[in-house]
Amino acid sequence: MYSLLSRASLYAVQVFQRMKLDDPERYMRLEHLASRTFFDGREVYGTGGGKEKRRAAIAHALSQEVGGRARGGKAGGEGAAKRGMRRA
């Protein structure tokens, strides 16, 4: 049942339709993962860590971004410029 719901969301949500056009390789990977009847964390997170390690890395990156703003940095900051984002 979850597989059907996840695949349905891939087809119905505009974000995924845009991803299908902009990044077809990533979209196909998501479609492949959604069609599976089981979950293999190594396929998603690699052999270097799991969900918790990935969450910790994201939390650290966010704290660095937010911390820079709290200390008087401009919104968007240098990190955002490196990623191609505009400053607010």
Sequential pLDDT tens for the chain (88 residues): 556 677 777 777 788 888 889 999 998 988 888 888 887 877 777 767 778 888 898 899 999 988 877 666 555 555 554 555 444 4
Q: What secondary structure letter does DSSP report for 87?
A: P
> What's the confidence (pLDDT) of residue 2?
58
Q: What is the sign, positive or negative, of the torsion defined by CA atoms of 40, 12, 4, 29?
A: negative
> What's the confidence (pLDDT) of residue 3?
64
> What's the confidence (pLDDT) of residue 35?
82
Q: What is the reported pTM? A: 0.46
Residue position matching structure tokens 């270097």: 48
Helices (H), 1-88: 2-12, 14-22, 24-35, 41-45, 51-70, 77-82
- Tell me the domain boundaries of the chain: 1-39, 46-88
Structural tokens at position 41: 């964390």
Closest-CA residue to 65 (of 76, 56, 57, 55): 76
Q: What secondary structure letter does DSSP report for 85?
A: P
